[in-house]
Chains A and B, each alone.
Chain A
Amino acid sequence: MNEVVIDCLGEACPVPLVKAQNKLKEMAVGDVLIVQIDHSCAMKNVPEWARKDGHNVEVEEVDDGEWEVIIEKTH
């Protein structure tokens, strides 16, 4: 199992979403992608897309206005 972190701090919507989508495509089933974001709309649309796509998703608030979206690729 691989763990990949992408740093999207300071990136506005929808850059984190597109970056996460591109990255997840390259990864293998079972791998975990961690997206670091500080844009609250990315905190909504990144998990929404990943859940709709059927992956396991968790959101963690790591600091004031800073989140990590943890996506486990399931298929």
Chain B
Amino acid sequence: MSAFKEYFVKVSKNEFYKKWLKDAWPYLTGAILLSLFQIVTLATTGNPWGVSGVFANWGAWLYEAVGGSVDKWYYFSSDGAQATLNNGFLNDPGTMRNVGIIFGALLATLLASQFKFKKIKSKKQVIAAIIGGLLMGYGARIAAGCNIGALFSGIASLSLSGWVFAIAMFFGAVVGSKLLVKFFM
């Protein structure tokens, strides 16, 4: 057992372990990788990267699994949306990417030995998280995209809508930080 422990103590002091797995990567590295994977996504799936639209599909599949039907819902009425839903969970590239993000994030935090269940500090946090989550989800659907699908992918596709989204998000963030300081300080 102690040899086992010794090995991990040695690994934790290794400079490559620290550089690649433990410490946060520089913003520039992140930006370059995001751009590369955006290109890979567009080339392999034919669509730019999106995150939140996939969650709407997950909701639809869940609803169908318990006997519901979304065929008549406006949001899912397009041929594209119907085709995605009919293909199923396992054949949706966006689903695979989101699952990859979730497990990748877990793996990264485990490899860095930084996994932790965070305590809930106050009721305020819970209420803010629920309201914030619902507003973000609703906003992402009526704006036809989140900060990835509408902003990052929009601008990367040279679409004006991405810049409009950026300006709106900037003012939203200003209001959001004022609320944050008011209620959480």
A→B interface (CB under 8 Å): 9-11, 14-15, 18-19, 22, 38-40, 43-44, 63-66
Interface residue SS majority, chain B: loop
User: Which chain B residue shows the least CB distance to A63?
Assistant: B116
**Given A38-B118, A40-B24, A64 contacting B180 (CB threshold 8 A):** no
On whether the beta carbons of B121 and A10 are closer than 8 Å, the reply is yes
**Given A10-B120, A10-B121, A65-B109, A18 contacting B115 (CB threshold 8 A):** no
On whether the beta carbons of B24 and A44 are closer than 8 Å, the reply is yes
Contact residues of B between 83 and 131, Cβ < 8 Å to A: 109, 113-116, 118-121, 125
On whether the beta carbons of A15 and B115 are closer than 8 Å, the reply is no
Contact residues of B between 149 and 185, Cβ < 8 Å to A: 177, 180-181, 184-185
B→A interface (CB under 8 Å): 24, 109, 113-116, 118-121, 125, 177, 180-181, 184-185
Could you tell me the distance in whole angstroms from the C-beta of B95 to the nearest C-beta in chain A? 27
6 other contacts beyond A39-B118, A43-B24, A65-B113, with CB at 8 A cut-off?
A14-B177, A44-B24, A64-B113, A64-B115, A65-B114, A65-B116
20 A-B residue pairings within 8 Å (CB atoms): A9-B118, A9-B119, A10-B118, A10-B120, A10-B121, A10-B125, A14-B180, A15-B180, A15-B185, A19-B185, A22-B185, A39-B118, A40-B24, A40-B114, A63-B116, A64-B114, A64-B115, A65-B113, A65-B116, A66-B116
Collect the chain A residues with CB atoms within 8 Å of residue B185's CB: 15, 18-19, 22
Collect the chain A residues with CB atoms within 8 Å of residue B113's CB: 64-65
On whether the beta carbons of A10 and B115 are closer than 8 Å, the reply is no
On whether the beta carbons of A64 and B116 are closer than 8 Å, the reply is yes
Cα distance, A10 to B53, chains bound together (Å): 29
Cα distance, A22 to B184, chains bound together (Å): 13
User: Which chain A residue shows the least CB distance to B184?
Assistant: A15
User: Which chain B residue shows the least CB distance to A7?
Assistant: B121
Residue with the highest number of chain A CB atoms closer than 10 Å, among B118, B177, B181: B118
User: Which chain A residue shows the least CB distance to B181?
Assistant: A18
Residue with the highest number of chain B CB atoms closer than 10 Å, among A15, A43, A44: A15
Could you tell me the distance in whole angstroms from the C-beta of A52 to the nearest C-beta in chain B? 15
User: Which chain A residue shows the least CB distance to B109?
Assistant: A65
Collect the chain B residues with CB atoms within 8 Å of residue A44's CB: 24
